Amino acid sequence: GLLPPLLRGLVRTPARRADSTGGSLTQRLSGVAEEAVREKVVLDLVREQVAAVLGHASAATIAPERAFQELGFDSLAAVGLRNRLTQTTGMRLPVTLVFDHPTPAAVARLILAEIGGGSEEPLIDQELTKLEGMLAASANSEKQRVADRLRKLLADITEGGESTRALIEAATTVDQVFQLIDAEIGEG
């Protein structure tokens, strides 16, 4: 309250202390039977801790699917969040928590799975979630490069292997192009 309004946005507020009055997470979840409610409780806890690390007054400003990089996390904030979550959950969390699970929702899913109350995503889905988080903070040129690689990967894993588009681009005559199109969508 001592800073002029113009300068308040420039000064980072100190992180709030971890609230230890709420009991352990397992105690909080013990009375909750519904899976969706359990997920909400864990996500709310993660969002509260993210808000505290960033110095926000409320967890309402923390979007569950927004990447930590977009929220303004640096390595110090990442360590702070991991330490706060370790303290409030009683769990041993990896040092690379924020990098391996780049959104509050991903961290909440990990915690819930570790407790044994969540449905752990298959590994491939976890990796795709990481990729989504990384792309959210990437430049458009990087997104385009990755999109091109993903299209190629998709073409490689689909039935025909090589995509029709690539075959059309490689065709040397108009007749070959029409044959490829007919083969792809069927002759009418």
Is residue 31 scored above 80 in pLDDT?
Answer: no
pLDDT single digits (tens) 73-107: 999 999 999 999 999 888 889 888 999 999 999 99
Residue 22 confidence (pLDDT):
45
Q: Which residues contact 42 (CB under 8 A, 6 or more apart)?
A: 25, 29, 108, 111, 112, 115, 118
Domain ranges of the chain: 5-136, 140-185
Least confident of 28-37, 41-50, 64-73: 28-37
Rounded Cα distance, 152 and 131, in Å: 16
Specify whether the CB–CB gap between 83 and 77 falls below 8 A: no
Rounded Cα distance, 71 and 30, in Å: 31
Token pair belonging to 32: 């909750």
Cα 49 versus chain centre, distance: 16
Question: How many contiguous H segments (helices) and E segments (strands) does the chain have?
Answer: 11, 0
Specify whether the CB–CB gap between 68 and 78 falls below 8 A: yes
Rounded Cα distance, 166 and 183, in Å: 14
**What would be the CATH architecture of the domain defined by 5-136?**
Orthogonal Bundle (1.10)
pLDDT single digits (tens) 106-138: 999 999 888 765 445 565 776 777 788 888 888
pLDDT single digits (tens) 127-180: 777 788 888 888 888 888 888 888 777 777 776 555 666 666 777 777 777 777
